[in-house]
Structure 1
Amino acid sequence: MRKTLKYLVVYEKSADGFGAYVPDLPGCTSAGKSRDEIESNIIEAITLHLEIMQDEGLPIPQPNSDSQMVVIT
């Protein structure tokens, strides 16, 4: 049983919809036409990414990224 991990996901709006990536999992990205779609897609992408890493015997990166909103006046 895998322990619970909590990864930061960055969502970006684009001209075509949305993109998402996980800073702690290089190469783990996804895209979708709506925010709801991309939220579902990135969870699937993270799950698959971790399964592939595990199958290949690679170490699973620990979540290290954090975020903060900064207000500029």
Structure 2
Amino acid sequence: MYRIVRCSNCGNLQITSARKRFRCVRCGAIQDMNSVKPLYVTEDSRRAREMLAELKSRGRTSEFRKPAGMKWG
């Protein structure tokens, strides 16, 4: 199972197959899977990579940007 999650510390989007905890590849924060809601879930790793690229490209617009000084959560 592949999940696309957002780090609540820095806002980075990444794919994880973790069940309990994952470490953000950008800031190194360790987060419980219970504390984050996956943005996308699939069994197909290729589809997960495609969706991650799509979500990251959307993030370049204001649609997914966080306000300055705010943490994701």
Q: Give the TM-score band, short-chain normalised.
A: 0.3 to 0.5
TM-score w.r.t. the length of structure 1 is: 0.38
Higher relative contact order at CA 8 Å, sep ≥6: structure 1 or structure 2? 2
Query: Larger Rg: 1 or 2?
Result: 1
- TM-score, scaled relative to structure 2: 0.38
Q: Which has the higher helix share?
A: 1
